[in-house]
Amino acid sequence: MSKPIVIASANGSVGMSASMAVLQRGGSALDAVEAGTREVESNIHDHSVGRAGLPNLLGQIELDASIMDGATRRAGAVAALRNYEHPISIARKVMEELPHVLLADRGAARFAKEMGFKQRDLMTAETRRRWREGLDQRAEGADDRRRYLASLRRFSHKTPLPQHSGTVNFIARDRQGNMAVAVSTSGLAWKYPGRVGDSPIIGAGNYADDRFGAAACTGRGELAVRAATARSVVMYLEMGLSIKEAGRKAMNDLKPLTDPFGTFMNIVCMDKDGNHAAFTGTAGAAYVYQTEDMDRHKETLRTVVPLQ
């Protein structure tokens, strides 16, 4: 029997007790990461995930999520999903009910309805206020609707800042030694409509393999897509590197990549034995973890690997 453990990005703290409760009663790693993620998706104070997430340039909240089972390496994901609070649960249904991995936009929404998920308005008054303030800061015709709608491409180049992006990551290992990863996000704030980052891309923002370990990412999703960052961590574990060596090498893989918005990335990862680590390009970032014998989760700083 293995010792149950959960790790998450810092904003996952609100879901740690729900995740660990699943493992303490003998539940699966898949159930644990889904339970924890759902709590974050419902947290209206977190504007980077689920309900109250920050919208795209048109004021639409588009959600991305993925889940992966390390025992079978089956996965499910949704992208650019609107009007559903829990994309992580819909992603799991994709994995379990369809011969596909990823559904997007209207197809994902159709499937969610078919699976019995209820629609809801994800926008809150606070989210709407922040969105409008962001447009005002970008100015250049934001008050002239025709000019604005004709130039979304130009506005999209002014969108990203690290504080306006965010994602939640959960990795769990259950008593059977099985691992699972869940990732959920509202994506980059003020993004071009339909933009998809790394969160629903298996191998980029999410990867799990019981034989070696698991990893998940937050940050500049386009970089993780270009470097297959989550899969890289697990591949380096397969090659025999330690969890700290594997995460550091995956971060260093990003250094040659240029990006007009800067190079920022965060990784959480765990090996098959439950050893865990997390990495960031900027000092001060943290992650959380909890084992079965802990009363509550603990927050600890990530290892800094400068990328610029």
At residue 141 the predicted structure's pLDDT band, cuts being 50, 70 and 90, is: very low
At residue 146 the predicted structure's pLDDT band, cuts being 50, 70 and 90, is: low
Mean of pLDDT values over 210-228: 97
Domain limits at 178?
A: 5-304
At residue 260 the predicted structure's pLDDT band, cuts being 50, 70 and 90, is: confident
Predicted local confidence at residue 142, as pLDDT: 46
Mean of pLDDT values over 4-15: 98
At residue 120 the predicted structure's pLDDT band, cuts being 50, 70 and 90, is: very high
Predicted local confidence at residue 156, as pLDDT: 75
Least trusted range by pLDDT, from 58-72, 114-128, 142-156, 277-291? 142-156
Mean of pLDDT values over 158-163: 56
Number of domains in the chain: 1
For the annotated catalytic residues, the residue numbers are 167
At residue 153 the predicted structure's pLDDT band, cuts being 50, 70 and 90, is: confident
Q: Report the chain's mean pLDDT, rounded to a whole number.
A: 93
Q: What's this model's pTM, rounded to 2 decimal places?
A: 0.95
- Kindly report, residue by residue over 65-110, the tens digit of the pLDDT: 999 999 999 999 999 999 999 999 999 999 999 999 999 999 999 9
Predicted local confidence at residue 213, as pLDDT: 98
Is residue 242 predicted with pLDDT exceeding 70?
yes
Mean of pLDDT values over 233-243: 98
Domain harbouring 251, CATH code: 3.60.20.30
Q: What percentage of the chain exceeds 90 in pLDDT? A: 82
**DSSP notation for the chain:** -PPPEEEEEGGGGGGHHHHHHHHHTT--HHHHHHHHHHHHHT-TT-TTSSTT----TTS---EEEEEEETTT--EEEEEEE-S-S-HHHHHHHHHHHSS-SEEEHHHHHHHHHHTTPPP-----HHHHHHHHHHHHHH-SSTTSHHHHHTTHHHHHTT---GGG---EEEEEE-TTS-EEEEEEE--STTPPTT---STTSBTTTEEEETTTEEEEEEE-HHHHHHHTHHHHHHHHHHTT--HHHHHHHHHHTTTT---TT---EEEEEEETTS-EEEEESSTT-EEEEEETT-SS-EEEEPEE----
Predicted local confidence at residue 202, as pLDDT: 98
